[in-house]
């Protein structure tokens, strides 16, 4: 007798709702509060990253926890207070990054299934929290936009690391893309040139030079193959061509040294001091490596280095604001995002 095999009734397949695409802007990060406690939490996460401090072994952990995190937070908290957005109780970097996300969303509002969000590599809102928020809204594809024009393992690569960590325990992972560095993109160079020219038009003096200051990096990182320095040079060379300037009228320097090892040179603070000693009286500084104003631009450049210039004989000093959420700056980001979303929208 042949066995009767029951035939399962056909079950209609439920069509999934239209998926959405997420765009996540990511900047470096900021303390949640402008006090020693808030800065300590932020610095612990930042300075524990092996991409940032490559010699991250036991000796560094002793130095970090026994010295750096005991002394530096109180000093840096005072610096943050000088630039803090009192109204929103947050750093300018957080205020500006939020505004950048809102303006980007408005500029691509015709793409109905695209959701724009923002997060920080260190501190809050965290990358994981924003990926979770995007997937909760139905985003099964996410374009991550590291807001660093020039690539570095200690900036852009750490974003990739953190995204991968966020995806590690997810059952249903979204497909992820990352935008490339945009250090020589025509839209970015044009935006920089326009911002400098507009700023110069507001001044009551004509600078003898414009100094372009990028965030520094240990020379050893470059020796190991990091392309950061080469991309900074490429940015300035493109900007010089765009503005018709030479090496003397648009100089390249590096700021924000930490520790005692050799960093990328020439150093911004030492160059500014020497130029003033040599008789320069009028100077403008621009920071093309920062997509948004932050502690390093608003306090270190616009205040600390201005004081260095004046103390050594300089008279007129002005810092050009970062591109922030300006129309030109946002257009450069919008072009980058739309190009990298091709095939998804």
Measure the CA–CA gap between 130 and 123, rounded to whole angstroms: 12
Q: Is the pLDDT of residue 31 over 70?
A: yes
The mean per-residue pLDDT over the stretch 11-15 comes to 48
CATH 3.40.47.10 given to domain 186-319: no
Q: Domain spans of the chain?
A: 20-182+328-340, 186-319
The 10s digit of each residue's pLDDT in 81-105 is 999 999 999 999 999 999 999 999 9
Handedness of CA 201, 202, 203, 207 (dihedral sign): negative
pTM strictly above 0.85: yes
Residue 4 pLDDT level (bands cut at 50, 70, 90): low
pLDDT on residue 11: 53
Which residues, in sequence order, are bridge partners of residue 284? 210, 318
Q: Is the pLDDT of residue 2 over 80?
A: no
Same fold, 20-182+328-340 and 186-319: yes
Measure the CA–CA gap between 90 and 38, rounded to whole angstroms: 11
**Residue 96: phi, psi to the nearest 5?**
-70, -45
The 10s digit of each residue's pLDDT in 49-82 is 999 999 989 999 999 999 999 999 999 999 999 9
Measure the CA–CA gap between 290 and 188, rounded to whole angstroms: 12
Measure the CA–CA gap between 309 and 40, rounded to whole angstroms: 30
Residue in 57, 32, 72, 37 with CA at minimum distance from that of residue 259: 72
Q: What is the 3-state secondary structure (H, E, C) of the chain?
A: CCCCCCCCCCCCCCCCCCCEEEEEEEEEEECCCCCHHHHHHHHHHHHCCCCCCCCCCHHHHHHHHHHHHHHHHHHHHHHHHHHCECCCCECHHHHHHHHHHHHHHHHCCCCCCEEEEEEEEEECCEHHHHHHHHHHCCEEEEEEEECCCCCCCCCHHHHHHHHHHHHCCCCCCCEEEECCCCCCCHHHHHHHHHHHHHHHHHCCCCCCEEEEEEECCEHHHHHCCCCHHHHHHHHHHHHHHHHCCCCCCEEEEEECCCCCCCECCCEHHHHHHHHHHCCCCEEEEECCCCCCCCHHHHHHHHHHHHHHHHHCCCCEEEECCCCCCCHHHHHHHHHHHHHHCCCCC
- The CATH code that applies to domain 20-182+328-340 is 3.40.50.1400
The 10s digit of each residue's pLDDT in 34-54 is 999 999 999 999 999 999 999
Q: Is the pLDDT of residue 113 over 80?
A: yes
Residue in 190, 164, 155 with CA at minimum distance from that of residue 288: 190
Tell me what percent of the residues of the chain surpass a pLDDT of 70: 95
């Amino acid at each position: 007798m042949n066995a009767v095999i029951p035939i399962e009734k056909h079950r209609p397949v439920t069509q999934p709702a239209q998926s959405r695409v997420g765009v996540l802007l990511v900047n470096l990060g900021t303390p949640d509060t402008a006090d020693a406690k808030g800065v300590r939490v932020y610095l612990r996460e930042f300075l524990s990253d092996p991409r940032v401090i490559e010699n991250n072994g036991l000796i560094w952990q002793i130095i970090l926890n026994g010295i750096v995190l005991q002394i530096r937070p109180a000093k840096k908290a005072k610096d943050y207070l000088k630039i803090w957005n009192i109204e929103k109780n947050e750093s300018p970097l957080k205020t500006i990054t939020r505004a950048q996300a809102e303006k980007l969303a408005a500029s691509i509002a015709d793409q109905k299934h695209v959701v724009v969000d923002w997060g920080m590599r260190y501190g809050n809102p965290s990358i994981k929290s924003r990926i979770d928020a995007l997937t909760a809204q139905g985003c099964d594809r996410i374009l991550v936009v590291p807001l660093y024009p020039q690539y570095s393992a200690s900036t852009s690569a750490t974003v990739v690391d953190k995204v991968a960590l966020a995806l590690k325990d997810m059952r249903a992972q979204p497909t992820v893309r990352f935008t490339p560095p945009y250090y020589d993109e025509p839209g970015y160079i044009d935006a920089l040139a326009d911002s400098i020219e507009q700023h110069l038009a507001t001044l009551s003096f004509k600078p003898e030079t414009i100094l372009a200051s990028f965030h520094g990096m240990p020379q050893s990182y470059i020796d190991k193959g990091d392309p950061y320095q080469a991309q900074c040079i490429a940015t300035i060379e493109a900007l010089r061509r765009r503005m018709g300037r030479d090496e003397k009228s648009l100089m390249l320097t590096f700021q924000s040294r930490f520790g005692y090892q050799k960093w990328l040179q020439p150093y911004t603070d030492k160059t500014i001091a020497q130029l003033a000693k040599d008789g320069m009286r009028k100077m403008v500084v621009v920071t093309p490596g920062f997509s948004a104003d932050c502690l390093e631009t608003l306090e270190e450049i616009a205040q600390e280095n201005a004081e260095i210039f004046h103390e050594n004989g300089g008279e007129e000093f002005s810092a050009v604001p970062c591109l922030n959420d300006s129309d030109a700056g946002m257009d450069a980001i919008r072009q980058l995002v739309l190009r990298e979303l091709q095939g998804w929208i």
